[in-house]
């Protein structure tokens, strides 16, 4: 009997699939009239920064851009290697088929080269998912990995589910199995992107990973909720919402980034959109804006959210002649 991952189709999942399908059409038309090469480069950097940041990599989009352009970067060698590997993996993604085990193993080899010993092969020992000093998920024993991955890849090849749903189920099941000694998170996200790109190549240019990074706790909570329920619906709903939000952000990035540089484009395409979507038509202090986004680091907020939004004329100061005034507040400007 063919393996069938446990999941439920909810009304929210149906709604999200519908919204994503509609939004993808609009985004496809938009990209045709934009500088597609520039957009691909910016989104690729944003994707890699988000996915690696989830795993603890501290390199900024500026540093990743420098590595992409073969410029020297002062950073921990391991983190630089992670970026180089990820850049290479996303360059080679067109060559892989998601249902082929050999391609999956090759992708892991590319993504983890020089970082661990067990590259391009399933793990030989036990592994658990930690949250601080607590084990939140103990993966199946290594002796079961070959069988479980064989079943999952066969289901991926033969299943009739919508690609949006199928890719999300695969992502969850992959993380549950945790087939590799390390690199499972970034591999799961890479493989979902690959599955979606087989349906619509535009997904190679949508930086979903950066939104997952911004909602990292919710990402892990959704994984855990699916495990607790033995049903991947919480994770499917979460990841589809991230995909939809990323598409909407990409669709509106042209008005945010028209006055920005390549590196600014990487940041502004979703972070500024997230800020203005949270704001109502009233005045906010700096701390109130940060609270809207559950952010606590003022310098990061100003660099990645506030300043790009001001430069793009999406928000404005209430005291424009006194930018550093302690009474300074901010409000939406000409946002419809």
Question: pLDDT digits over 237-277, tens only?
Answer: 999 999 999 888 876 654 444 334 444 444 445 678 788 88
Return d(Cα 188, Cα 175) in angstroms, integer: 7
Cβ distance 93 to 103 under 8 Å? Answer: no
Helix (H, G, I), strand (E, B) or coil at 114: coil
Return d(Cα 317, Cα 285) in angstroms, integer: 10
Return d(Cα 188, Cα 222) in angstroms, integer: 14
Q: Report angle CA 246, 103, 238 to the nearest 5 degrees.
A: 25
Question: What number is the average pLDDT over the span 100-123?
Answer: 96
Instruction: Please tell me the predicted confidence (pLDDT) of residue 261.
Output: 42
Q: 211: closest CA among 241, 239, 242, 188?
A: 242
List of residues 6+ apart from 126 with CB closer than 8 A: 138, 139, 141, 142
| Beta-bridge mates of residue 317 | 330
Cβ distance 303 to 288 under 8 Å? Answer: no
Q: 236: closest CA among 12, 2, 25?
A: 12
Q: For residue 270, what are its two tokens?
A: 């979703």
pLDDT band at 281 (very low <50, low <70, confident <90, very high): confident
List of residues 6+ apart from 302 with CB closer than 8 A: 286
pLDDT band at 34 (very low <50, low <70, confident <90, very high): very low
Catalytic residue among 94, 108, 124, 178: 178
Whether the per-residue pLDDT at 157 is higher than 90: the answer is: yes
Q: For residue 18, what are its two tokens?
A: 């519908």
Query: Which CATH code, of 3.30.70.260, 1.10.8.100, 1.10.3290.10, 3.40.50.2000, is assigned to 11-257?
Result: 1.10.3290.10
Task: Please report, in range form, the residues annotated as the binding site for ATP.
Answer: 129-137, 182-189, 219-220
Which class for 263: exposed (0-12), middle (13-18), buried (19 or more C-beta within 10 A)? middle
Cβ distance 145 to 179 under 8 Å? Answer: yes
Return mean pLDDT, the chain: 85
Cβ distance 126 to 140 under 8 Å? Answer: no
Whether the per-residue pLDDT at 152 is higher than 60: the answer is: yes
Instruction: Please tell me the predicted confidence (pLDDT) of residue 325.
Output: 87
Instruction: Please tell me the predicted confidence (pLDDT) of residue 265.
Output: 45
Cβ distance 225 to 234 under 8 Å? Answer: yes
Whether the per-residue pLDDT at 103 is higher than 80: the answer is: yes
Q: Any idea where the domains of the chain sit in the sequence?
A: 11-257, 279-332
Helix (H, G, I), strand (E, B) or coil at 130: strand
Return d(Cα 238, Cα 204) in angstroms, integer: 20
Instruction: Please tell me the predicted confidence (pLDDT) of residue 258.
Output: 39
Instruction: Please tell me the predicted confidence (pLDDT) of residue 284.
Output: 92
| Beta-bridge mates of residue 316 | 331
178 noted as active-site residue: yes
DSSP-H helix ranges across the chain: 11-32, 36-54, 61-68, 77-92, 101-112, 145-158, 163-177, 184-199, 208-214, 216-229, 233-257, 262-278, 286-292, 298-301, 307-311
List of residues 6+ apart from 334 with CB closer than 8 A: 313, 314
Question: What number is the average pLDDT over the span 153-163?
Answer: 94
Instruction: Please tell me the predicted confidence (pLDDT) of residue 293.
Output: 87
């Amino acid at each position: 009997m063919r393996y069938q991952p446990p999941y439920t189709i909810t009304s929210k999942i149906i709604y999200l699939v519908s919204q994503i399908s509609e939004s993808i059409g609009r985004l496809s038309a938009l990209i045709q009239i934009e500088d597609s090469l520039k957009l691909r480069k910016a989104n690729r950097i944003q994707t890699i920064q988000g996915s690696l940041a989830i795993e603890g990599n501290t390199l900024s989009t500026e540093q990743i851009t420098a590595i992409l352009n073969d410029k020297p970067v002062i950073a921990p060698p391991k983190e630089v290697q992670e970026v180089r590997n990820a850049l290479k993996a996303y360059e080679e993604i067109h060559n892989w088929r998601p249902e082929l085990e050999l391609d999956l193993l090759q992708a892991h080899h590319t993504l983890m080269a020089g970082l661990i010993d067990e590259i391009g092969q399933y793990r030989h020992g036990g592994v658990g998912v930690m949250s601080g000093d607590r084990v939140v998920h103990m993966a199946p024993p290594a002796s079961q990995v070959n069988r479980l991955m064989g079943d999952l890849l066969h289901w991926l090849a033969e299943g009739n589910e919508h690609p949006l749903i199928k890719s999300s189920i695969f992502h969850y099941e992959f993380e549950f199995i945790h087939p590799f000694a390390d690199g499972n998170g970034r591999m799961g996200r890479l493989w979902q992107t690959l599955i979606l790109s087989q349906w619509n190549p535009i997904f190679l240019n949508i930086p979903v990973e950066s939104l997952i990074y911004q909602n990292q706790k919710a990402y892990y909570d959704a994984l855990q909720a699916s495990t607790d329920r033995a049903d991947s619906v919480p994770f499917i709903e979460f990841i589809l919402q991230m995909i939809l939000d990323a598409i909407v952000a990409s669709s509106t990035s042209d008005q945010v980034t028209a006055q920005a540089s390549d590196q600014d484009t990487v940041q502004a395409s979703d972070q500024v959109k997230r800020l203005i979507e949270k704001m109502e038509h009233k005045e906010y202090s700096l701390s109130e804006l940060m609270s809207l986004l559950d952010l606590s680091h003022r310098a990061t907020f100003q660099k990645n959210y506030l300043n790009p939004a001001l430069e793009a004329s999406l928000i404005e100061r209430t005291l424009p002649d006194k930018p550093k005034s302690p009474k300074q507040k901010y409000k939406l400007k000409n946002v419809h």
